[in-house]
């Protein structure tokens, strides 16, 4: 195998300006260094590449590549070739070493089907990772920008598989290089689309009562997820712990920082938003302070960390939870930390508010208060599902404080995200932030 040339790999990345997964698109490249390079099949390479930028920065990418035998410098994206996904799944299934430190690692107890003849198709539009469906058997998630250390999605997927949690696609295995996870193989689940599209369809059909019923079922499924993540275990990474007063103070301090960080972001890009947040600042800080005064109760556990309607699939009237990586803008240590399960509930509450707002923007006559009714049904079902556990706060004061602060933190994150990516949507989280600032007891 003739090694890839630095010129060919540099040119490959320079051609990826349209790709959502390539975050260095606006940074001139100084050089590209190969950390690993293995042959998957004739003309197909799996490469782990360090991209060094002229500004001194560096990023690591997983790049499955095609190599033109007649022109060694001609490389392209191998994920358009079905042999690539099949070879990666085969390596995971066999627990094979591909050389160069790249190994397949099947999940214990998982039966990975043979996909040698499976049809391969991409799932979804532009994403930070690439998902491929192999027949009706496997979904392969190719991690384009692998992180060193533990993969959170792999860690939680393996834990839930061992626990037998049924409402998430089962993790079948992983492809890894050293301490990086390059790809994850999941059991493919036939489905009727994601929860976001499903909710918008319900709203467009004026099916308000059905949407509230959906929310209650979703609350039960999320409660079951939290019961699995909050069960006693010998694994320190998942062992739940009582919420202490120190946790409330730490979460309140983080919330205060996010208030000011969000105002700072808005000042530079959205002065009107910054003005609204500045007017609300005293009330927001008061809400954070109120969290420190409640009596601590409930447990802190591992959570999903970025739960919204787009992170669930609808299947035969039921729901499957996906994508346990957490909010991508947050550091890994924070995404692996333990929090109140109400953070996930708050994320779904915000998602119902978004669905109602987006439907109204599309001209749908959304009944007043429908998002609030759906959220109330979700919260009630979640509480009922966990009633026999000690995971949730035992007093209404602590419950309300944790839920409202979690919702505020999510809304602040949304403001920063919308300013950067969808400025036309920023009014949705701002409206809720102003409401939360004015409702502090």
15 vs 282, higher pLDDT: 282
In terms of DSSP bridges, do strands 58-68 and 71-77 run parallel, antiparallel, or are they unpaired?
antiparallel
- Write down the pLDDT at residue 71: 58
- Write down the pLDDT at residue 441: 57
16 vs 382, higher pLDDT: 382
Does the structure show a pLDDT above 60 at 251?
yes
Average pLDDT of 251-276?
97
- Write down the pLDDT at residue 350: 98
pLDDT, tens digit, 9 for 90 and up, residues 389-429 = 999 999 999 999 999 999 999 999 999 999 998 999 999 99
Q: Which one of 3.90.190.10, 3.90.1200.10, 3.30.390.30, 3.30.830.10 gives the CATH number of domain 195-437?
A: 3.90.1200.10
Q: Which helix (H) or strand (E) holds 173?
A: strand 171-177
Compute the distance between CA of residue 60 and CA of residue 49 in angstroms, rounded to an integer: 6
- Write down the pLDDT at residue 344: 98
The single residue listed with the structure tokens 């970025």 is 306
Does the structure show a pLDDT above 70 at 239?
yes
Compute the distance between CA of residue 89 and CA of residue 87 in angstroms, rounded to an integer: 6
**8 A C-beta contact, residue 173 and residue 92:** yes
Segments of the chain assigned to CATH 3.90.1200.10: 195-437
DSSP 194: B
HEC profile for 29-76? EEEEEEEEEEEEECCEEEEEEEEEECCCCEEEEEEEEEEECCEEEEEE
* Alpha-carbon distance values, 18 to 13, 134, 160 (Å): 10, 25, 35
Cα-based angle 183, 153, 156 (whole degrees, multiple of 5): 130
- Write down the pLDDT at residue 125: 66
* Alpha-carbon distance values, 413 to 175, 366, 417, 419, 421 (Å): 32, 25, 6, 10, 12
**8 A C-beta contact, residue 202 and residue 299:** no
pTM above 0.85, yes or no: yes
The single residue listed with the structure tokens 């739960």 is 307
At 18, is the pLDDT very low, low, confident or very high (cuts 50, 70, 90)? confident
Task: Report the Cα–Cα distance between both ends of the chain, in Å, rounded.
Answer: 69
pLDDT, tens digit, 9 for 90 and up, residues 79-131 = 999 999 999 999 999 999 999 999 999 999 888 999 999 999 998 766 788 99
- Write down the pLDDT at residue 150: 92
pLDDT, tens digit, 9 for 90 and up, residues 183-231 = 999 999 999 999 999 999 999 999 999 999 999 999 999 999 999 999 9
Does the structure show a pLDDT above 60 at 304?
yes
pLDDT, tens digit, 9 for 90 and up, residues 151-172 = 999 999 999 999 989 999 999 9
At 276, is the pLDDT very low, low, confident or very high (cuts 50, 70, 90)? very high
What rounded mean pLDDT belongs to the chain? 94
* Alpha-carbon distance values, 79 to 9, 98, 278, 343, 391 (Å): 16, 18, 47, 36, 43
Q: Which of 200, 182, 143 is nearest to 323 (CA)?
A: 143
Q: Which of 195, 211, 293 is nearest to 245 (CA)?
A: 293
* % of the chain residues with pLDDT over 90: 86
- Write down the pLDDT at residue 146: 94
């Amino acid at each position: 195998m003739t090694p890839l040339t630095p010129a060919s790999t540099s040119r490959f990345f320079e051609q990826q300006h349209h790709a959502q997964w390539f975050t260095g698109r606006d940074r001139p490249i100084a050089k590209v260094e190969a950390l690993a390079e293995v042959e998957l099949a004739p003309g197909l390479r799996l490469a782990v590449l360090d991209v060094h930028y002229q500004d001194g920065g560096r990023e690591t990418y997983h790049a499955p590549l095609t190599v033109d035998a007649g022109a060694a410098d001609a490389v392209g994206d191998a994920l358009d070739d079905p042999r690539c996904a099949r070879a990666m799944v085969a390596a995971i299934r066999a627990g094979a070493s591909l050389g160069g430190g790249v190994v397949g690692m099947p999940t214990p107890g998982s039966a990975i089907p043979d996909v040698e003849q499976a049809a391969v198709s991409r799932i979804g539009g532009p994403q930070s990772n690439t998902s491929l469906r192999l027949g009706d058997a496997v979904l392969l998630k190719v991690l384009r920008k692998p992180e060193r250390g533990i993969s959170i999605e792999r860690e939680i997927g393996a834990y839930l598989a061992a626990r037998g949690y049924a409402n998430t696609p089962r993790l079948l295995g992983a492809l890894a290089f050293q301490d990086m996870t390059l790809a994850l193989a999941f059991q493919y689940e036939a489905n009727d689309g994601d929860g976001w599209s499903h909710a918008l369809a319900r709203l467009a059909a004026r099916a308000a009562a059905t949407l509230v019923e959906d929310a209650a079922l979703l609350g039960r499924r999320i409660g079951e997820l939290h019961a699995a993540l909050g069960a006693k275990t010998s694994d320190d990474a998942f062992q739940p712990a009582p919420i202490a007063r120190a946790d409330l103070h730490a979460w309140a301090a983080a919330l205060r920082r996010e208030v000011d960080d969000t105002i700072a972001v808005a000042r530079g890009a959205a002065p009107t938003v910054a003005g609204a947040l500045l007017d609300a600042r005293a009330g927001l800080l008061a809400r954070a302070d109120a969290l420190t005064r409640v009596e601590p109760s409930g447990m802190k556990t591992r959570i999903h960390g970025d739960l919204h309607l787009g992170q669930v699939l609808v299947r035969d009237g039921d729901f499957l939870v996906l994508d346990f990586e957490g909010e991508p803008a947050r550091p890994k240590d924070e995404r692996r930390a333990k929090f109140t399960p109400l953070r996930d509930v708050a994320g779904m509450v915000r998602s119902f508010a978004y669905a109602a707002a987006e439907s109204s923007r599309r001209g749908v006559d959304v009944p007043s208060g429908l998002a609030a009714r759906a959220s109330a049904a979700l919260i009630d079902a979640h509480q009922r599902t966990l009633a026999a556990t000690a995971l949730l706060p035992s007093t209404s004061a602590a419950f309300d404080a944790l839920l409202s602060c979690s919702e505020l933190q999510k809304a602040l994150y949304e403001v920063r995200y919308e300013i950067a990516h969808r400025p036309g949507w920023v009014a949705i989280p701002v409206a809720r932030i102003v409401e939360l600032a004015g409702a502090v007891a």
